[in-house]
């Protein structure tokens, strides 16, 4: 029998046959006992299929060539799969969603291969899941288990369940099994063909993974019995019916449901709009075009960094905004398997992007989900300055949409500064590219190719980065700046020391090693590490705005953080762009671009007791100048986030302005920083 963990182990070994035990344990987050249990369970499953097993040789695993050539996942039957609790919960909901007759506990036991008590326990969890979406999972003798609530909510939860299940091993097999249990046709392939035909005829493009999710979703809606009407407001209906894509949605709804009412045509159109990729030519929307520009301006204003290549960023943001706008407007769920990594690894940028998206939330009158914010964060994270490409050429094949490919390109460029990346390719496009035009391929899916192919997720952890560095180094050593395995380093440390937190040590060591080779500064200092006592000044002099900016920046210049030309650049930018450095409440944050003369990240503060008027305009009185010197678009974000939180508190600002000496001010910042 295969369960989720043993299947995951098998997938890892087939994708990277050279992995050893420490690497696998760390990647899959398994204890030594769990690893050996999963290895035994995996090999027992392989024996049941008459396939060769994977044997342990010390710390290495020997994957037979005959197993690599086999297709074990295709021959595993439903009865050989043990689903995880999370999978079972979503499968129970979907099974009930398309029920063709009253459902009993026995139905759930049979479809999931579980005991009566396990099924009862899972039902309680499904009820809790339903309650979160304002749905009830009820039971009666005549109806059995059934769903009660608005059809819109039921469908939304079905879409969410499908999105959450699809990344799991055997997802397609599990969904097929639900249809087979009810003896209804599984029309996924037919629905997908209809969607692809629709796209081709109307010259629109789906985000690849959205297409798969939508095809499964519509296949479920198609066989759902007791389907109720979704009631849209007049305003909602007008938005959709007037959209150029409505006739396409209407035609598709007719194919799927046969003589549907207008509400179903509206529903299908909304799903299409939430899945298509925006194009300036074919789906032009002036509001969303302006929103893309406004987003860039908001992020620039909050990060105090001028984003390079705005034209390209505006284009890709618009492509993402078109489906995102309709998903947010009509609460269409989206799955983002990277969200936890994004929130953990890019916490400050995530918070800034979330704030920058508030005008979109206000426009749609909907809360923007963490998953959506995460995808927008990837867009802006991809704008980090990358090392200049030198000798080798790489191809990127990504099926997960624009956002994921941008983040993949950024990470790979940081890990392999000698690589030059061509455009991103789909599988079909890649198959037509001459292999002589590139040296290595990075892809989210396995590919047949004469050159080295490395299968990677869109967002890499420290463990995955280390594994990738080793793998690339074996094929093209020149691409690797340093090629010391983290596993060797950890083994050496274990030989001479007791480690209390292995995961934290691993990630910290990798970060330190990687930051020495990457153009991106991985460490982000705290506010108190930048605004130290020697960076603070207080004056009773009456200054004009140019004098105030120059004086506020003088501690940075005196300590070598900036060059004199950076000060002149700050003054010149105010002359050219106006009072953009004024953030209200008597506070201004002068800054310029890193290339204008920044040597080291820093902040300095000037408190003036006589207000200074920016550009001699009394509408902009400044009492606090906080000069910012950023070396890139990331390193200063933690300190800036803490400063922003501090300055959003009116009481804290009053206290800040009342302090008249560096020691007291530094102590105040340290105290507030802890509270933040």
Q: What is the CATH number of the domain that holds 456?
A: 3.40.50
At 570-618, the pLDDT tens digits run: 999 999 989 989 988 899 999 988 888 988 889 999 999 999 999 999 9
At 342-351, the pLDDT tens digits run: 888 888 889 9
pLDDT at 551 over 50: yes
- For the chain, percent of residues with pLDDT exceeding 70: 90
Asked if residue 344 belongs to a domain, the reply is: yes
28 lies in the same domain as 96: no
- Of 224, 255, 277, the position where a domain reaches its end is 277
548 lies in the same domain as 660: yes
Quickly state the pLDDT bin for 520 (edges 50, 70, 90): very low
Give the residue-averaged pLDDT of 524-549: 93
Asked if residue 356 belongs to a domain, the reply is: yes
39 lies in the same domain as 96: no
60 lies in the same domain as 157: no
Query: What's the CA gap between 573 and 590, in Å, rounded?
Result: 9
Q: What is the CA radius of gyration of the chain?
A: 28
pTM, rounded to two decimals:
0.67
Higher pLDDT: 204 or 128? It is 128
Higher pLDDT: 239 or 459? It is 239
Task: Check which CATH number belongs to the domain holding 661 and give it.
Answer: 3.40.930.10
pLDDT at 519 over 50: no
487 lies in the same domain as 549: no
pLDDT at 516 over 50: no
Query: What's the CA gap between 337 and 191, in Å, rounded?
Result: 25
Q: Which of 33-42, 528-537, 604-613 has the lowest mean pLDDT?
A: 33-42
- Of 489, 515, 541, the position where a domain reaches its end is 515
Strands (E), 150-269: 205-206
Q: Which of 480-484, 489-493, 556-560, 574-578 has the lowest mean pLDDT?
A: 480-484
pLDDT for the residue numbered 38? 87
Give the residue-averaged pLDDT of 514-528: 63
Query: What's the CA gap between 2 and 113, in Å, rounded?
Result: 12
Higher pLDDT: 255 or 508? It is 255
Query: What's the CA gap between 163 and 140, in Å, rounded?
Result: 30
pLDDT for the residue numbered 216? 95
pLDDT for the residue numbered 389? 37
pLDDT at 411 over 90: no
479 lies in the same domain as 531: no
At 38-74, the pLDDT tens digits run: 899 889 888 887 888 888 888 888 888 877 766 555 5
Question: What is the tally of structural domains in the chain?
Answer: 6
pLDDT at 308 over 90: no
pLDDT for the residue numbered 74? 57
CB-CB contact of 414 with 387 (8 Å):
yes
Asked if residue 511 belongs to a domain, the reply is: yes
pLDDT at 104 over 50: yes
pLDDT for the residue numbered 484? 67
C-alpha dist (Å) from residue 130 to 119, 150, 154, 553:
16, 12, 8, 57
pLDDT for the residue numbered 92? 97
**Count, residues in the chain:** 676
Give the residue-averaged pLDDT of 451-471: 84
Asked if residue 520 belongs to a domain, the reply is: no
Query: What's the CA gap between 114 and 106, in Å, rounded?
Result: 10
Give the residue-averaged pLDDT of 510-533: 70
229 lies in the same domain as 342: no
Task: Check which CATH number belongs to the domain holding 165 and give it.
Answer: 1.10.10.10
Q: Which of 66-70, 148-152, 664-668 has the lowest mean pLDDT?
A: 66-70
Q: What rounded mean pLDDT belongs to the chain?
A: 85
pLDDT for the residue numbered 48? 82
Highest-scoring range by mean pLDDT, 45-59, 556-570, 644-658:
556-570
pLDDT for the residue numbered 391? 63
Query: What's the CA gap between 467 and 148, in Å, rounded?
Result: 48
Query: What's the CA gap between 33 and 44, in Å, rounded?
Result: 17
496 lies in the same domain as 557: no
Domain range enclosing 271 = 188-277
405 lies in the same domain as 433: yes
Highest-scoring range by mean pLDDT, 316-320, 517-521, 537-541, 595-599:
537-541
Quickly state the pLDDT bin for 518 (edges 50, 70, 90): very low
Asked if residue 619 belongs to a domain, the reply is: yes
Quickly state the pLDDT bin for 386 (edges 50, 70, 90): very low
Place of tokens 């890709």: 316
User: CB pairs under 8 A, 24+ apart, for 657-666?
Assistant: 657/586, 657/607, 657/623, 657/624, 659/607, 660/538, 660/607, 661/538, 662/533, 662/534, 662/536, 662/538, 663/533, 665/533, 665/536, 665/605, 666/528, 666/531, 666/532, 666/533, 666/536
377 lies in the same domain as 257: no
Give the residue-averaged pLDDT of 171-176: 86
Q: What is the distance between the terminal CA atoms of the chain, rounded to a whole angstrom? A: 49
- Of 381, 407, 429, the position where a domain reaches its end is 381
Query: What's the CA gap between 493 and 499, in Å, rounded?
Result: 8
What does the angle CA 277 – CA 367 – CA 380 come to, to the nearest 5 degrees?
50
CB-CB contact of 349 with 637 (8 Å):
yes
Higher pLDDT: 151 or 391? It is 151
Give the residue-averaged pLDDT of 390-398: 79
Asked if residue 661 belongs to a domain, the reply is: yes
pLDDT for the residue numbered 63? 85
The DSSP line for 50-70 is T----EEETTEEE--HHHHHS
Quickly state the pLDDT bin for 278 (edges 50, 70, 90): low
Higher pLDDT: 329 or 229? It is 329
The backbone torsions φ and ψ at residue 148, rounded to the nearest 5 degrees and listed phi first, read -130, 125
531 lies in the same domain as 668: yes
Give the residue-averaged pLDDT of 550-573: 94
pLDDT at 362 over 50: yes
Asked if residue 387 belongs to a domain, the reply is: no
329 lies in the same domain as 344: yes
Strands 602-613 and 536-539: parallel
Give the residue-averaged pLDDT of 436-449: 87
Asked if residue 226 belongs to a domain, the reply is: yes
């Amino acid at each position: 029998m295969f369960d989720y963990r043993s299947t995951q182990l098998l997938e890892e070994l087939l994708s990277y046959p050279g992995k050893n035990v420490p690497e696998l344990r760390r990647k899959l987050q398994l204890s030594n006992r769990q690893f050996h249990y999963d290895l035994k369970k995996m090999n027992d499953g392989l024996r049941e299929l008459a396939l060769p097993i994977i044997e342990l040789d010390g710390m290495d695993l020997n994957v037979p060539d005959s197993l690599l050539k086999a297709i074990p996942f295709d021959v595993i039957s439903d009865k050989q799969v043990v689903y995880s609790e999370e999978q079972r919960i979503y499968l129970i909901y979907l099974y009930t969603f398309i029920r063709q007759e009253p459902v009993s506990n026995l139905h759930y036991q049979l479809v999931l291969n579980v005991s009566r008590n396990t099924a009862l326990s899972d039902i309680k969890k499904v009820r809790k899941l339903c309650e979160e979406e304002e749905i009830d999972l009820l039971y009666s003798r005549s109806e059995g288990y059934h769903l009660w609530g608005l059809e819109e909510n039921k469908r939304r939860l079905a879409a969410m369940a499908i999105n959450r299940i699809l990344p799991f091993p055997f997802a397609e097999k599990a969904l097929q099994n639900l249809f087979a249990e009810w003896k209804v046709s599984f029309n996924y392939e037919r629905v997908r063909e209809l969607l692809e035909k629709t796209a081709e005829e109307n010259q629109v493009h789906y985000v690849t993974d959205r297409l798969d999710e939508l095809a499964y979703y519509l296949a479920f809606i198609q066989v759902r019995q007791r389907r109720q009407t979704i009631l849209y407001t007049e305003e909602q209906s007008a938005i959709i019916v007037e959209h150029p894509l409505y006739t396409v949605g209407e035609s598709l709804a007719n194919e799927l449901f046969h003589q549907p009412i207008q509400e179903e045509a509206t529903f299908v159109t909304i799903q299409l709009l939430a899945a298509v990729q925006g194009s300036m030519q074919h789906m032009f929307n002036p509001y969303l075009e302006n929103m893309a520009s406004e987003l860039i301006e908001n992020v620039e204003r909050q990060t105090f960094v001028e984003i390079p290549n705005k034209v390209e960023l505006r284009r890709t943001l618009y492509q993402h905004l078109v489906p995102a706008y309709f998903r947010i407007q009509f609460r269409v769920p989206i799955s983002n398997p990277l969200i936890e990594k994004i929130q953990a690894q890019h916490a400050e940028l995530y918070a800034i992007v979330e704030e920058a998206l508030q005008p979109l939330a206000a426009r749609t009158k909907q809360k923007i989900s963490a998953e959506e914010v995460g995808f927008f964060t990837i867009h802006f994270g991809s704008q980090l300055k990358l090392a200049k490409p030198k000798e080798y050429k790489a191809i990127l094949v990504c099926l997960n949409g624009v956002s994921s490919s941008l983040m993949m390109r950024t990470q790979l460029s940081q890990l392999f500064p000698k690589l030059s990346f061509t455009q991103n390719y789909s599988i079909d496009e890649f198959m037509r590219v001459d292999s002589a035009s590139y040296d290595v391929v990075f892809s989210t899916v396995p590919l047949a190719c004469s050159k080295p192919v490395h299968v990677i997720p869109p967002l890499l952890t420290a463990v995955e980065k280390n594994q990738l560095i080793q793998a690339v180094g074996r094929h093209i050593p020149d691409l690797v700046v340093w090629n010391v395995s983290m596993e060797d380093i950890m083994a050496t440390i274990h030989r001479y020391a007791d480690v209390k937190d292995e995961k934290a040590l691993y990630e910290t060591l990798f970060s330190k090693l990687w930051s020495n080779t990457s153009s991106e500064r991985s460490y982000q200092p705290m506010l108190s590490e930048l605004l130290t006592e020697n960076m603070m000044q207080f004056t009773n002099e009456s200054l004009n705005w140019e004098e105030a900016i120059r004086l506020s920046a003088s501690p940075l210049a005196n300590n070598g953080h900036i060059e004199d030309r950076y000060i002149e650049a700050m003054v010149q930018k105010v002359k050219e762009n106006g009072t953009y450095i004024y953030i209200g409440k008597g506070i201004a944050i002068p800054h310029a671009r890193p290339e204008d003369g920044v040597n080291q990240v820093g902040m300095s503060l000037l408190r003036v007791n006589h207000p200074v008027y920016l550009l001699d305009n009394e509408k902009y009185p400044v009492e606090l100048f906080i000069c910012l010197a950023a070396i890139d678009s990331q390193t200063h974000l933690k300190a800036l986030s803490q400063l922003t939180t501090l300055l959003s508190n009116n009481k804290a600002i009053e206290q800040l302005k009342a302090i008249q000496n560096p020691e007291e001010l530094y102590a105040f910042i340290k105290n507030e920083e802890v509270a933040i």
